[in-house]
Amino acid sequence: MQDDGARQAVIATALEMNRLGLNQGTSGNVSCRAAAGGLLITPSGRPYETLEPADLLRIGFDGTVLEGKGRPSTEWRIHADILAARPEAGAVVHCHAMFCTTLSCLRRPIPAVHYMIAVAGGDSIRCADYATFGTPELSQAALAALADRKACLLANHGMIAIGTELRKALALAVEVETLAAQYWRAVQVGEPVILPADEMTRVLEKFRDYGA
């Protein structure tokens, strides 16, 4: 089977996403570029523990199923549109992480409460406008929030993280959820001090080769 290693990696990433508490049940989804063209994505509504490599679908960027049976994730469009628009991205992780989702329900972006915000590519982690799941409108809102960024929240929904590979996309999702938890806890006590723009400019410069 083509892309067998990538298929195994997508399943492993989905399982790890749930094991880490970033996601619950079948609510999230994972994708990566396929060597044969298009992308590999988790199927709709299937428990990750039951997945075999052949259960993943290879789809085109227009959603056409190129390999596999059944339906791709209902959020296939977000994955396809991100990978089509961002040539540097090789993988997308979407999850309903608790603290990210809590902030998204408040329509709150994550400001520069910690310098590690820079790991997502900017001085904040934006919250995309709300749109119904699985729609072109949600995909466009996500792309707008991801402009010059590698992660965003989705209003009343969850979080997206992208990376050059699955390992990096998942690691970024972990970091973003940690930042969301720190911010949420800080606002329980008082008003967090936000790092100024000039400091974040310095930090972002330092982050240019972070993790390289």
pLDDT digits (tens, 9 = 90+) for 116-126: 999 999 999 99
Q: What is the average pLDDT across 31-59? A: 95
As given in the structure block, the two tokens for residue 133 are 């799941």
Q: What is the pLDDT of residue 208?
A: 82
Say what the pLDDT of residue 153 is.
98
CB-CB contact of 146 with 161 (8 Å): no
- The class that CATH gives domain 4-209 is alpha beta
Mean pLDDT over 84-95 rounds to 98
Which member of 75, 88, 175, 177 is catalytic? 75
Tell me what the mean pLDDT of segment 134-144 comes to. 97
Three-state secondary structure call for residue 43: strand
Question: Each residue of 140-173: pLDDT tens digit?
Answer: 999 999 999 999 999 999 999 999 999 999 999 9
Q: Out of 79-88, 96-105, 133-142, 202-211, which region has the weakest mean confidence (pLDDT)?
A: 202-211
Instruction: Give, in order, the Cα–Cα distances in Å from 66 to each of 21, 26, 80, 180, 193.
Output: 32, 23, 13, 37, 50
Which pLDDT band holds residue 93 (cuts at 50, 70, 90)? very high
State the burial class of residue 150 (Cβ atoms within 10 Å of its Cβ: 0-12, 13-18, 19+).
buried
Domain locations along the chain: 4-209
Helix or strand holding residue 12 (H, E): helix 4-19
Report helix, strand or coil for 162.
strand
Are the C-beta atoms of 3 and 24 separated by less than 8 Å? no
Q: How far apart are CA 108 and CA 196, in angstroms?
A: 18
When pLDDT is averaged across residues 167-185 and rounded to a whole number, the result is 98
- Which pLDDT score is estimated for 211? 60
pLDDT of 100: 98
- DSSP, collapsed to helix, strand or coil, labels residue 113 as coil
Per-residue pLDDT band at 209 (split at 50, 70, 90): confident
Pair 42, 9: CB distance under 8 Å: no
Averaged pLDDT score across all residues of the chain: 95
> pTM to 2 decimals?
0.95
- Is 75 known to be catalytic? yes
The three-state secondary structure class of 143 is helix
Q: What is the radius of gyration, based on Cα positions, of the chain? A: 17
Is the pLDDT reported for residue 212 higher than 70? no
Checking if the pLDDT of 1 tops 60, the result is: no
